[in-house]
């Protein structure tokens, strides 16, 4: 068992984060709905900083990545009864957000090496009811955006990039989140850019940005010109009904500070991941791949495929448990396919029973997708904080894999 050194903690407050929070605390403005104080909100400033970082025209901060996805779907015209193609291997929000706008998630299989949405599977899943495709850049991989964009354009579908696990990754030199009609991000506690909770939707389309702005602020948007101090800055336009999914001023100020450290932290993770790739490849293990167009990876999670003899749910879980004990680092299987996930259960909530046959269309029992099912039993992953450690830590991880897999017969017998 590894002893004597702790793993890096996460989150790590950036220089200036504490001062930024104190500044908000004494500003008299904790929400974008607070009376105008004569200066731009922290939320507005973060939106500008993040848009500039990504190289995109518009950023609308939201209360969570879930809120960003739901507003993106609705802004793109998705509604009751529409079908939205999503990857079968992903976090629950990939499906629950679609159900949340009264649409139907259609699960498509993933590429066996990148674990991201397979363009051929998307093409095969399209029906006359399909309105959009949501692609997730999973763990450390970027999906095949060239092929997915071509499929979406060929069929007149909106392409939404869920980049919650890929802040700073690039595809053909462009930041991910900027190649779809809308890109969405999560700033949850676990993410590489975090404010505890939070999110953002980004787009180059001003009409989509305006719709998202209304959808996340109870149907209000920022006035074209600043009002007099003390007056509301958000105006009631009557254009579109929305809900309150706004980011607080505390979170926005924190994100302004955290964004300044993102690239340096991503660079450290990337260098350590390259080393770990080499060390595990020497044991004939296969780290997660990425699509050919990827020009820079971001590591939300490091994922690696196990040897064939331990590629099933029980065996991989036993190996993960043993690795966790060896390292004092939480190692776990990758996500379960959404149609087998306990977190995807639309029938558990009456609000989703919107009409005859609708719950039948949402039934997870309809699905069986072999690549996603096989991947769930084949890959293990651990959180990106470990990649902020030293080279010695990467050797510890590789040695733990060697020790645990040397006794795999005992673990799985």
Query: How confident is the model over 255-272, as pLDDT tens digits?
Result: 999 999 999 999 999 999
Q: Which of 288, 386, 383, 375 is nearest to 335 (CA)?
A: 375
Give 47's contacts (C-beta < 8 A, 6+ positions apart). 59, 60, 61, 200
Give the residue-averaged pLDDT of 390-398: 97
Candidates 177, 230, 217; CA nearest to 71 is 217
Name residue 203's beta-bridge partners: 58
Residue ranges of domains in the chain, CATH in brackets? 17-260 (3.40.640.10), 262-335+373-412 (3.90.1150.10)
How much is the pLDDT for 281? 97
Residue 413 pLDDT exceeds 80: no
CA gap 309, 295 in Å, rounded: 33
pLDDT in tens, 333-390: 999 999 999 999 999 999 999 999 999 999 999 999 999 999 999 999 999 999 999 9
Q: How far apart are CA 239 and CA 278, in angstroms?
A: 55
Task: Share the mean pLDDT of the chain.
Answer: 96
pLDDT cut 70: percent of the chain above it: 99
Distance CA 389, CA 393 (A): 6
Supply the pLDDT for residue 1: 59
Share of the chain above pLDDT 90, in %: 94
Q: What is the pLDDT of residue 4?
A: 75
Predicted pLDDT at 311: 77
Name the band, by pLDDT with cuts 50, 70 and 90, for residue 5.
confident
The answer, yes or no, to whether residue 411 has pLDDT greater than 80, is no
The candidate with the shortest Cα–Cα distance to 38, out of 224, 232, 228, 250, is 228
> Per-residue pLDDT tens for 338-352?
999 999 999 999 999
For 311, counting Cβ atoms within 10 Å of its Cβ (0-12 exposed, 13-18 middle, 19+ buried), the class is: middle
Find the mean pLDDT for residues 280-289.
96
Q: For strands 182-186 and 199-203, give the pairing.
A: antiparallel
* pLDDT reported for residue 313: 73
* Angstrom distance (rounded) from CA 140 to CA 320: 19
pTM of the shown model? 0.97
- pLDDT band for position 410 (50/70/90)? confident
User: What are the pLDDT digits (tens) for 214-223?
Assistant: 999 999 999 9
| pLDDT for res 409 | 79
């Amino acid at each position: 068992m590894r002893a004597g050194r702790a793993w890096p903690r996460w989150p790590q407050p950036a220089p200036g984060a504490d001062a930024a929070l104190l500044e908000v605390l004494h500003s008299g403005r904790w929400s974008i709905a607070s009376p105008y104080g004569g200066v731009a909100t922290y939320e507005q400033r973060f939106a500008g900083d993040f848009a500039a970082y990504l190289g995109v025209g518009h950023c609308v901060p939201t209360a969570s990545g879930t809120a960003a996805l739901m507003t993106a779907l609705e802004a793109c015209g998705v509604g009751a009864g529409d079908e939205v193609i999503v990857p079968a291997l992903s976090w629950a929000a990939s499906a629950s957000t679609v159900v949340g706008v009264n649409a139907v998630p259609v699960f498509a299989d993933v590429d066996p090496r990148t674990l991201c949405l397979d363009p051929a599977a998307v093409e095969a899943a399209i029906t006359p009811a399909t309105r959009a495709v949501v692609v997730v850049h999973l763990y450390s991989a970027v999906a095949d955006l060239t092929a997915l964009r071509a499929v979406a354009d060929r069929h007149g579908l909106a392409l939404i990039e869920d980049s919650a696990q890929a802040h700073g990754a690039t595809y053909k030199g462009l930041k991910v989140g900027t190649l779809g009609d809308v890109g969405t991000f999560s700033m949850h506690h676990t993410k590489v850019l975090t404010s505890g909770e939070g999110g953002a939707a980004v787009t180059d389309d001003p009409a989509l940005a305006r719709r998202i702005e209304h959808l996340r602020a109870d149907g209000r948007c920022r006035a074209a010109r600043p009002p007099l101090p003390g007056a509301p800055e958000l105006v009631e336009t009557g254009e579109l009904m929305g809900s309150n999914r706004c980011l607080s001023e505390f979170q926005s100020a924190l994100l302004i500070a955290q964004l300044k450290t993102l690239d340096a932290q991503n660079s450290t993770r990337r260098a350590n991941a390259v080393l770990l790739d080499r060390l595990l490849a020497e044991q004939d293990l296969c780290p997660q791949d990425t699509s050919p167009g990827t020009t820079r990876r971001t590591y939300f999670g490091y994922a690696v495929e196990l040897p064939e003899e331990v590629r099933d749910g029980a065996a991989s879980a036993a190996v993960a448990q043993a690795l966790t004990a060896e390292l004092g680092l939480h190692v776990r299987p990758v996500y379960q396919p959404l149609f087998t996930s306990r977190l995807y259960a639309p029938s558990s909530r009456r609000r989703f029973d919107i009409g005859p046959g609708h719950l039948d269309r949402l039934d997870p029992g309809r699905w069986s997708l072999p690549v996603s099912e096989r991947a769930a039993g084949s890959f293990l992953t651990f959180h990106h904080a470990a990649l902020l450690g030293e080279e010695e830590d990467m050797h510890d991880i590789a040695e733990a894999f060697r020790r645990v897999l040397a006794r795999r017969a005992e673990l799985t017998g």
